[in-house]
Structure 1
C-alpha cells in the first residue's frame, strides 16, 4: 500500500525508506506499518470529534467558567500518569481504573462513535460498582467489538467464552476461578444458550465474587478452594436481540409459552440482578465509513461516504439481496477493500478525486457482483453508474488464472462456459479477500464444481491447496465443533 508522503513526515526517523522506483512523495510500507499508521489516524479522528463536541457544548453554556463540569467532558476516558507511584489511572465520571499494561500488539481498532462512547460509560459505571455489564442488541451492531475495544483502552487481559452446550459445572467453576485469581475481564457470549442449572451456578459464583469485591476481601473460597482475589476482575456478557429465538428457548426450558420475548426473558432474575444492561442499536454507518476511508488514505472521505450511503439505500430498495448483506453493505465496502487501494499523492485535485472513486468502484464491484442473482446484474450496473457517473472502469481479467481455470475444466472433461468461468473468477476474488465464504444456490447449479475447479486452477498455478469436503449432516455436532470431556476435563477439538 502507498500512502501520500505528507502523512509520513516523521516516518523516516523510524527506519522507513523511500523506494527509488516510486514517484516522489510516496513511501512503500509494510503491512504492520500500515496497521500502525491507520490506528494513529483513527485515534486522531476520534480526538477531533471529541474536541468538536466539546467546543459545541461549551458554546451553548451561559457560564463558560464551569466548562470543566460538563458531562461531555466528564464522560470521556481521561488518562493520568503519576510519577510518584509510577502508575497510569483512567477516570470516567466517578469511575476510576488502573491501566493494566496488557500487551495488545498492533491490533485493529474499531471506530469509536457516540453509541460506543455511551456504551463505555455504562460498562465503566457497572464495573465501578462491582456489577456485570450486559450488552444487548441485534446481530452485527458491534457488541463484542465494543467490549474488546474497552478492554484494550484500559489495558486489561480479556477472554471471550462462547457459551454452548459444552460448558458444564466444572468448566464454569474453572472460568470464574480464573477470573477471580488473575483479575482478568471475561465475556460470556450468548449466555442464554446455557442450561438452567449452569445459569444458576453462574449466578451463585458471580454473587459471591461481586460481594467479595465490594467488601474488599483479599481471599475468596470457591468450591472449597481458597483463591487470592485480584480486585480488577470483571464479568461482561452479550445477548443477541432475537425475539423468535428467545421465545423458543424459554418455551423449551419452562414448558409454557411466555408472554415476553425480550432478550433477557431467557435468563433467571437472580442472574439479571447482577448485570447492568446496555442496549446497542444500529451503528452509525456514516461516521464509521468516513473514518475508515480516512484511515486508509482517502482524501475525499466525506464526499465518498455520501455516495456509498446512497448506493446502500438504492441496493436495499431495488436489489434482491439478503437482509444481512444489506445491513452491512457500506461497512464491508469500506473496511476490507480500502486496505488494498493504492492512492497517488502527486495527482491534481480532480485527478485524485477520480482515482479514489475508481478505486472505490472496483472495491464495490469485486465485493457485490458475486452475490447478485442474474436478473440483478444489469440493475446493479445502472445504480453504480448513477452514483459514480464520472467513473468508467473496465473489468480486468487475470489471464493467468483464466488459463488455469480452462486447464482445470479440461482435465475434468467440462466445457469452459463463460458464465461458469466468470463465477469461478469471482470466487477467486473473494478467496483472496475473505477468510470464510458461503456458496448459496439450488442443487445442481455448480457450487461444488466451482470449488473443485478453483482448487485445480490453483494447483495448475503451483499453489498448494488442501481441499477437504465435509458433510456436516453425517457428523455429530460434538465431533464437528469439539467437546469438553467431563471425565478428563480436557477439551477435544473438532
Structure 2
C-alpha cells in the first residue's frame, strides 16, 4: 500500500518526522494532478448516457465494437468524472473461476469499478459461473444491501462480503468472429445483466480537431481533417 510522508514541527521538541499510511487520508481524497481527459464526442456522450442508465437500473455496462473505438477509455473517463477508481482487467483463456472470484471480492470490498476488457475471451465454463456472482452483486447494489452473499462457486472462504455501494462491474466485447479469434458468445443469462452500447466507429476528425486546438494550433479543424485523411490513406 502506498505511503505518504508528513513533517510536523513542535516548538517544545526537536524536529520530528512522522510516516503515515496514505489510507488514513483517503477522506477527503488527495489531489493527484490534472490527468489527461477524454475528448467528448457524440459517441462518448451516448456511451456515458447508456452506462449511467444501466447503473440506475442496477445493471452493468457493455460497450462493444472493434478495437480502438474507445470502449475501455470511455468507462475509465466516466469513472473519473464520478471520482471512482477504475481497475481494468484484460481477460484471456488463462483466467479461471477462482481468479475471477478474488477480483470480485476485492471490487465489492474497496468500492472500485471493474472493467473487464475483452470479456468474451474467457472460457465458456468460466462465463457461466461468473454470471451467478455478477447477478448476486448487482442485486445487492440495487436493493442497497450492506453485504453481498457470494455462492461457493469460486471455492473461496468468504461467502458473505461487505459491500461498498460505489462498486460496479463493466465489460467490453470485441465481435465474435470477424477477424477476432478466441471469442465466445455470451450466454443469454449473462447478456441480461449488462446494457449494451455499440461503439462502431470513433469520430476521428473531431478528436483530432480538439487535440490540435488544445495544443495551440489555430487551424485545428482544417489540420484535423487533413491529418485523418493522411492516416486513412496510409492504411
TM range (shorter): 0.7 to 0.9
Kindly indicate whether residue 89 of structure 2 is the aligned counterpart of residue 196 of structure 1: no
Distance in 2 (alpha carbons) for counterparts of 1:270 and 1:142: 26
CA contact (8 A) 2:86 2:113 kept: yes
- Map 1:415-494 → 2, pairs under 5 A: none
Superposition deviation, residue 177 in structure 1: 0.7
Aligned residues: 202
Q: Distance in 1 between matches of 2:90 and 2:33?
A: 23
1:235 and 2:150 correspond: no
Higher share in helix: 1
Q: Answer yes or no: is the 8 Å Cα contact 2:117–2:172 preserved in 1.
A: yes
Give distance in 1, aligned partners of 2:191 and 2:148.
Answer: 22
User: In structure 1, how many angstroms separate the alpha carbons of the residues matched to 2:182 and 2:94?
Assistant: 20
Aligned partners of 2:164 and 2:145: how far apart in 1? 9
Contact 1:101 1:156 in 2 (8 A): no
**Which residue does the alignment assign to 1:153?**
81
Runs of 4+ aligned residues of structure 1 deviating over 3 Å after TM superposition are 100-106, 244-250, 309-313
Q: Distance in 2 between the 1:178 and 1:159 partners?
A: 11
Residue matched to 2:198: 279
Q: 1:218 & 1:185 partners in 2: Cα distance? A: 17
TM-score (norm 1): 0.39
Q: Distance in 1 between matches of 2:31 and 2:172?
A: 24
1:284-323 counterparts in 2 under 5 A? Answer: 284-312=203-231, 315=233, 321=234
Higher RCO, 1 or 2 (CA under 8 Å, sep at least 6)?
A: 2
Tell which deviates more after alignment, 165-174 or 135-144: 165-174
CA contact (8 A) 2:65 2:175 kept: yes
- Conserved? CA contact 2:121–2:182, under 8 Å: no
With over 3 angstroms needed to count, the CA separation of the structure-2 counterparts of 1:198 and 1:310, relative to structure 1, is closer
Report the alpha carbon displacement of residue 269 of structure 1 after superposing the two structures with TM.
0.8
Task: Determine if the alignment matches structure 1 residue 182 to structure 2 residue 110.
Answer: yes
Q: Does the CA contact (< 8 Å) of 1:102 and 1:155 recur in 2?
A: no
8 Å contact kept, 1:101–1:155: no
1:235-384 correspondence to structure 2 within 5 Å: 235-241=169-175, 243-245=177-179, 249-250=183-184, 266-312=185-231, 315=233, 321=234, 326=235
Q: CA RMSD in A?
A: 2.1
CA gap 1:293/1:179 in 2 versus in 1, 3 angstroms: same
- Cα 1:103–1:205 change in 2 (3 A) is farther
Distance 1:102 1:229, change over 3 A: farther
Relative to the length of structure 2, the TM-score reads: 0.79
**Map 1:392-407 → 2, pairs under 5 A:** none
| Structure 1: gaps (5+ residues) | 1-99, 251-265, 316-320, 327-494
Which runs of no fewer than 5 residues in structure 2 stay unpaired?
A: 1-27, 153-157
Which has the larger Rg?
A: 1
